[in-house]
Structure 1
Amino acid sequence: MKKIFLIIKREYLSRVKKKSFLIVTFLVPLLFLGMWGGVIALSIQDSASLSTIYVIDDSGLIINDLNNTESLSFEKATGSPTEEKSQLGENQFLLIIPEDVLESQKLALLSSQKPSIFVQSEISNQVNNILRKTLLSNAGIDLKTLDSIQPNVKVTSLEITEEGEQESNAGVAMGIGMFASIMIYLTLFIYGSQVMRGVIEEKNNRVVEIIISSVKPFQLMLGKIVGIGLVGLTQFLLWIALSGSLLTIGGLIISSQMPDAFSAEEMSTISSSVPNSAAFAQQNTLLDDVQGTLAGIDFPYLITCFLIFFIGGYLLYSALFAAVGSAVDSETETQQFMLPITMPLLFTYIMSFGVLVRDPQGPLAFWLSMIPFTSPIGMMVRVPFGVPLWQLGLSIVLLIGGFIFTTWVASRIYRVGILMYGKKASYKELIKWFKYRK
């Protein structure tokens, strides 16, 4: 056991002391938050180029009701279609509305370049609304009465628990589940590949021959797996701590720059002076809903489950990656062995974006969250939706059992493979190595 701890210490310290580890650990939260900040800033600011739409309306029904937007400007064409077409420049379009537009419901949009889907969609939406009002008016339907009937039903999802009914949000659960599946998928590959590359590097440098003279192959493999796993766990905990600190600091800075809460009199003044005060109030309600939903999420429980399945999945797959690394002399030779190993993980990752988030309690989701090779992703997709404790416990027990089994299988291949040089391994050869006795 002492020798295993020495190997773990060597693998851990040799990696956490590297400049690359420190740079990645401290830069990733900054880059991640900076990316989201940039996305939000670009979404808020008016960066869309203005397109001019020259309109020839032979029907006379639409031209007067078209409204300019932040990205579209409608102008009545003064010339004939031929003249207007010849004068079109960049971000300029010619919209020709036929006289029988009510019957044909077809328009022609001409330009010297392909219009974006947003330009076509905005024109289509405005014309559809105008024609709808015209047809309703022709049918004798009062538009004011029709517009006043705007039901807005909100379905509040309540989960029945032992503590009582608790509000839940399927959209938030789906987002968390998909995010967890992406993180598990990426990290298992990143840190598992580090184990494989470490084994290949030591094998090619012949360092392993010296190490094997002092420790058993199983001890070396286990120490390397646990050591690199602790590096990944350290990096994750630092990312969580740094991201939380940055978000807290950012929230305090933003709140300090915000004005004090408006009084009732000021809010009344704003409501009377702002034309879209209803939309303003609706946005505030939506913000309150989001804050209430986030407050109801048990983040410690989610983070604990994530760490358990990350560690279990890493230990299981890194043992297989170590076996692959011991069987080859370079990374280019690993492809024939990597595909069968990663197929269960890849299959579950793909399923998580469709079947699992759509039916997290279904039979496929259940079995994918129980099989050790697929449970790290399968269970993490289901956890935000609520999983019975017996299923969670069973999945963890099976994952531990899967790790023990795969480590035993991988160690039997590893003990022979690390001393094999210049010979391309095949599946038949791996089976032969597995059957070797000491």
Structure 2
Amino acid sequence: MSKIWLIAQREYLTRVRKKSFVIMSLIGPLLTAALFAVPILIATLSDNGKVVAVADAGGLFTDRLPEAKDDISFTRVSADLTAAKAEFKKAKYDALLYVPKLDVTNPTGFQVFSRKGLGLSLENDIRRSVNKAIENQRLRAAGIDRAVLDNLKVDVDLQTVSLSDEGEKSSSTGISTGVAYFFGFLIYIFIFIYGVQIMRGVMEEKTNRIVEVVISSVKPFQLMMGKVLGIAGVGFTQLALWVLLSFGISSVMAGSVSPDKVVAERASRTTAVAGATTPAQKEAQKENIAAKFSQALHSADLNMPLLAACFLFYFLGGYLFYGALFGAIGSAVDSETDTQQFMMPVTMPLVLTFVVSQAVLTTNPNGQVAVWMSMIPFTSPIAMMMRLPFGGVPMWQLAVSMVLLIAGFLGTIWLAGRIYRVGILMYGKKVSYGELSKWLFYKG
């Protein structure tokens, strides 16, 4: 154990002292925030408001044009298509909608002209506006008032409650899904990042022939175990720094906004909502969405201590399980190009879990597929963390999953050690799966 500890300490200190580790630890939370914020910001900046010219030859919009929205507005041009095209080119509108003479029972012949292709969002907005106008004419012909029909529609505020033997607890499916994806994504990305580090570290020592000197003092199994544990410590250190920095950044941002000021601004905007301009209405809607999200976050009665403890366990267990396999791959090959044939079977369960999570794990977290995937060590680190935020996971399933993951780690360490002891000193030979199977049964 002392030799394993020395190797782990060396691996840990070597990586923690690197400038790249310090830089990534500091800017990691900012990059994570940018990963979610930049696409929204780009979509907001690129959405400057589209203007659609309408050539209404069929009289579909005789009474009025479709209502303008934040991202699209309509203007009327000549009903003659030739004149409308000329005006469209001259005025540089974003799109030209031509409404032919039509029968509302069988509306056909609509055309949309654009200069460089029509975006999907703009096309859908135009289609919805045309569909609504045709629906209004059909309702009018049937003697039905559109306002009465709209008043019949209801948006129910549905509160979800988890009922179990422990009692009633408030829950939020949206918040639970977000937390599940967050934990699952962290485990997924850290296994890949630090598992590949183990593989490259083993390959580097093997190609530099350093390992020939090292294994004269330690056994190959001890060397691999020390590498796995040392790099695991690096991963935990970086994760802890990211959590602390993220908490500090969020606290500063929350403290910079006074609650009284937010309430006062919200009240002033509410009183002026009737005559407010479009930007003011947009800000009021954003604050309303933020308030609903905050309320949902508080109403989602998540067992955070259990989630945190299980996350640490599955984070470490999943890393150790896959880290041993990555180390075995690194010892079996001589170059990174040779790792591809062995990487696919190892990484496929992780990718499969993420693919299945969208269709099964978050939609039916207590179904048979979810239960079995949370038991199998290859998929349990992500699958179980996908299930836990939704609640309802029996303690016996959680215990069995943890025991199987520990057993799986011990099994992969044993298998990887058998491969490691042979492959670490083998150079210049292309290794196949058949060759690896022989290494497992070599004596000595």
Separation of aligned partners in 1, 2:404 and 2:31 = 37
Give the secondary structure class of the aligned counterpart of 1:425: coil
Which residue in the other structure is 2:53 paired with? 54
Q: 1:349 to 1:19 in 2, by over 3 A?
A: same
Matches of residues 416-435 of structure 1 in structure 2 within 5 Å? Answer: 416-435=422-441
Q: Residue 98 of structure 1: which of 97, 100, 119 is its match?
A: 100
Amino acid paired to 1:342: T
Separation of aligned partners in 2, 1:236 and 1:4 = 23
How much does 1:13 deviate?
0.2
Separation of aligned partners in 1, 2:379 and 2:275 = 57
Deviations 1:245-279 (A, max 9, x none): 111111112337x7263399968744665599999
Which residue in the other structure is 1:141 paired with? 144
How much does 1:406 deviate?
0.9
How much does 1:147 deviate?
3.0
Which residue in the other structure is 1:77 paired with? 77
Q: How many residues are matched?
A: 436
Give the secondary structure class of the aligned counterpart of 1:119: helix
Q: Contact (CA 8 Å) 1:85, 1:111: kept in 2 or not? A: no
Deviations 1:111-159 (A, max 9, x none): 3332222222222222222222222222222344333323222221100
Separation of aligned partners in 2, 1:349 and 1:137 = 49
Which residue in the other structure is 1:126 paired with? 129
Amino acid paired to 1:96: Y
Separation of aligned partners in 1, 2:286 and 2:153 = 18
Q: 1:331 to 1:244 in 2, by over 3 A?
A: same
Give the secondary structure class of the aligned counterpart of 1:102: coil
Q: Contact (CA 8 Å) 1:52, 1:93: kept in 2 or not? A: yes
Separation of aligned partners in 2, 1:162 and 1:242 = 38
1:398 lines up with 2:397 in the alignment: no
Matches of residues 174-189 of structure 1 in structure 2 within 5 Å? Answer: 174-189=177-192
Q: Residue 314 of structure 2: which of 289, 309, 312 is its match?
A: 309
Separation of aligned partners in 2, 1:260 and 1:285 = 12
Which residue in the other structure is 2:347 paired with? 342
Q: Which moved more, 1:239-248 or 1:153-162?
A: 153-162
TM-score in terms of structure 2 length: 0.89
Segments of structure 1 that go 5 or more residues without pairing to the other structure are none
How much does 1:32 deviate?
2.1
Which residue in the other structure is 2:7 paired with? 7
Separation of aligned partners in 2, 1:25 and 1:39 = 23
Q: 1:153 to 1:373 in 2, by over 3 A?
A: same
Q: 1:374 to 1:79 in 2, by over 3 A?
A: closer
Q: 1:287 to 1:262 in 2, by over 3 A?
A: same
Q: Which moved more, 1:186-195 or 1:7-16?
A: 186-195
Give the secondary structure class of the aligned counterpart of 1:333: helix
How much does 1:357 deviate?
1.5
How much does 1:163 deviate?
4.4
Amino acid paired to 2:264: F
How much does 1:346 deviate?
2.4
Separation of aligned partners in 2, 1:148 and 1:86 = 42
TM-score in terms of structure 1 length: 0.91
Which residue in the other structure is 1:226 paired with? 229
Segments of structure 2 that go 5 or more residues without pairing to the other structure are none
Deviations 1:155-188 (A, max 9, x none): 2110024442111111222222223322222211
Which residue in the other structure is 1:25 paired with? 25
Give the secondary structure class of the aligned counterpart of 1:165: strand
Q: Contact (CA 8 Å) 1:361, 1:382: kept in 2 or not? A: yes
Q: Contact (CA 8 Å) 2:357, 2:386: kept in 1 or not? A: yes
1:151 lines up with 2:160 in the alignment: no
Separation of aligned partners in 2, 1:263 and 1:436 = 75
Which residue in the other structure is 1:324 paired with? 329
Separation of aligned partners in 2, 1:125 and 1:264 = 32
Using the aligned pairs only, state the percent identity: 43
Q: Which moved more, 1:408-417 or 1:73-82?
A: 73-82
Amino acid paired to 2:349: P
Q: Which moved more, 1:6-15 or 1:156-165?
A: 156-165
1:388 lines up with 2:394 in the alignment: yes
How much does 1:3 deviate?
1.1
Amino acid paired to 1:53: V
Q: Which moved more, 1:201-210 or 1:114-123?
A: 114-123
How much does 1:38 deviate?
4.0
Q: Contact (CA 8 Å) 1:65, 1:130: kept in 2 or not? A: no
